Amino acid sequence: MLYPLSYEGQDQKLYRATDDTPRAVLREVFGYEAFRGEQAEIIDHVTGGGSAFVLMPTGGGKSLCYQVPAIVRHRAGLGVTIVVSPLIALMQDQVNALETAGVHAAFLNSSLSRTGSQQVETRLRAGELSILYAAPERVTQEGFLYQLDRLVDTSGLSLFAIDEAHCVSHWGHDFRAEYLKLALLADRYPTVPRVALTATADEQTREDIVERLRLESARRFIASFDRPNIRYTVVERTKAQPQLVDFMKSHRGEAGIVYCSTRKKVETVTGWLLAAGVPALPYHAGLDQHTRSVNQDVFALNDGIVIVATIAFGMGIDKAEVRFIAHLDLPKNIESYYQETGRAGRDGLPAETWMVYGLGDVVQQRRLIAENTAQAEWKRIQRHKLDALLALVETHTCRRVELLSYFGEESKPCGNCDNCLDPPTTWDATEAARKALSSVIRVRHGGGRAVAYGFAYHIELLVGKRSERVIANRHDELSTFGIGTDLSEEQWRAVFRRLIALGVLEAQGEYGTLALTDEAGPVLRGEQPILLREVTPSRKRSRRRR
């Protein structure tokens, strides 16, 4: 056995020529000339038998961080690397790519037949495999562990790579219970190095991963999350269709992805784009497998195709020249937003991300969390994540600073987001916010049927609109009726949106009836300044940017 491996100095001449170094493997197997960013350091560390926690944004090149060490260590006689991944669809792709490059690789998951599994296990026992991908539930099965035990004494168990490591954390956006069991690998194979990798982890999730996977003494590699070539823009929704079509004008002939929250919306929006002469294809889980893969291929292989999709689309998409990502609905949280927008500009050339959002999104997201039957702890985490996302969309300072700070990274105003390029003017809504809250209090305590008093209703009251329902409830007699005629309905919507975003107001029940929360005190007393951006027509802004 050639252990420990060394790549510095003359030692390596004693080994099997230079083609066993990580750099040689990079060139020979993957066809790349140089490592990117921290890859070199990570790969040296892991190849040398060190454990590691790797946080690297999507597209940063995480796979090589375990594939190269796996190949080098297998060649050195140290045995197989087990890659734990929850993404069954990706395993097949990765294994195909590796096999094509001449690396012995295989996967074990529920998609294999019994005979298929047995064949893989035979290759595993024979020590033939450099890399074996396996789903977490498989890796933690006693039967499988028993096979690994035997490998330790025979052909070797070289390395564990735990991909998508955030799945081990409740704080992560994709918790999977089977991941918790992976902690047993530390006890059962104390001498086998482990590398955990993820693209998305805020500070809390990071600590969780390290603790739960027992990686306290592993070296941490945290790559920057900044994607400087991506421009971030968030606009308020006035009318989504013309806003989207207008945005697309500056992306004629370019490839992009438009994300929507529902299948139905995907179909509708595809229609909008086709009507505007944009070559668009739908993608969602309701389409049959054939249509989906055809649409995905057409997108991947051609220039200038726009995919309109639910978040079902994107995993395993490796198209470098995606020029824009548009969100027509709020993503679930910043992790999702970052991951989805991160599919733009992988080639390093300028790319644009654009999102419209409105009050309805905020109300709906809050309600989805409130009405979920999950435990209070889960709800608390989801609320916290939504708050962070809302802070990002509502901010009038640099979006990149806000985004990176979520991932624990400090930065300076970027000059490449809407707020940097076109600093919004703000107005002081502190007084308006107090009026809005007063209206909610008056209505709740002022009799009438306690239904359907959502923000739209309160806006009618504030601007003094004697609508049928206002008269029926005799709410035109409230002291707060008409106290907000100085502002437009649009401005009032912005006030309510901020109050809901801040968690000061809560939309309850089927009709989104508004109520004050415990957080309302400081706003009601005028102690918490509320600054809102001046409403600028989106047309003007997008033209100025070109």
Look up residue 26 and give its two tokens.
């990079």
Q: How far is the CB of 11 from ligand ADP (least distance, A)?
A: 25
**Distance from C-alpha of 196 to C-alpha of 285, rounded to nearest angstrom:** 30
**Rg from Cα positions in the chain:** 27
At residue 254, φ and ψ (nearest 5 deg) are -110, 155
Q: Which residues contact 250 (CB under 8 A, 6 or more apart)?
A: 352, 542, 545, 546
**Distance from C-alpha of 225 to C-alpha of 405, rounded to nearest angstrom:** 10
Angle between helical axes of 142-153 and 114-125 (0-180°, round to 10): 20
Of 22, 75, 77, residue with least CA distance to 45 = 22
Do 441 and 516 form a contact (C-beta atoms < 8 A)?
yes
Q: Which is nearer to Zn ion, 356 or 417 (CB)?
A: 417
Q: Which stretch binds Zn ion (CB under 5 A): 175-183, 386-394, 415-423, 468-476?
A: 415-423
Of 281, 244, 220, 237, residue with least CA distance to 408 = 220
Q: Which is nearer to Zn ion, 44 or 418 (CB)?
A: 418
Binding at 3: pick from Zn ion, ligand ADP, none (beta carbon under 5-8 Å per type): none
Three-class SS state of 106: strand
Q: Examine residue 508 and tell whether it contacts ligand ADP (CB under 6 A).
A: no
Q: How far is the CB of 23 from ligand ADP (least distance, A)?
A: 10
Q: Which is nearer to ligand ADP, 59 or 358 (CB)?
A: 59
Task: Convert 449-500 into a string of H (helix), E (strand) and C (coil).
Answer: CCCCCCHHHHHHHHCCCCCHHHHHCCHHHCCCCCCCCCCCHHHHHHHHHHHH
Per-position x/- string for 306-335, each x denoting binding to ligand ADP as judged by CB under 6 A, each - no binding: ------------x-----------------
Q: Examine residue 3 and tell whether it contacts ligand ADP (CB under 6 A).
A: no
Q: Examine residue 420 and tell whether it contacts Zn ion (CB under 5 A).
A: yes
Binder among 11, 16, 28, 32 for ligand ADP (CB under 6 A): 32
Q: Examine residue 64 and tell whether it contacts ligand ADP (CB under 6 A).
A: yes
Per-position x/- string for 159-198, each x denoting binding to ligand ADP as judged by CB under 6 A, each - no binding: ----------------------------------------
Binder among 56, 240, 287, 502 for ligand ADP (CB under 6 A): 56
Q: Which stretch binds Zn ion (CB under 5 A): 174-182, 413-421, 431-439, 461-469?
A: 413-421
Asked if residue 282 has a cis previous peptide bond (ω within 30° of 0), the answer is: no
Q: Examine residue 201 and tell whether it contacts ligand ADP (CB under 6 A).
A: no
Q: Examine residue 230 and tell whether it contacts Zn ion (CB under 5 A).
A: no
Look up residue 475 and give its two tokens.
């709410």
Binder among 5, 20, 35, 295 for ligand ADP (CB under 6 A): 35
Residues that bind ligand ADP (CB under 6 A): 32, 35-36, 39, 56, 58-64, 199, 318
Residues that bind Zn ion (CB under 5 A): 398, 400, 414, 417, 420
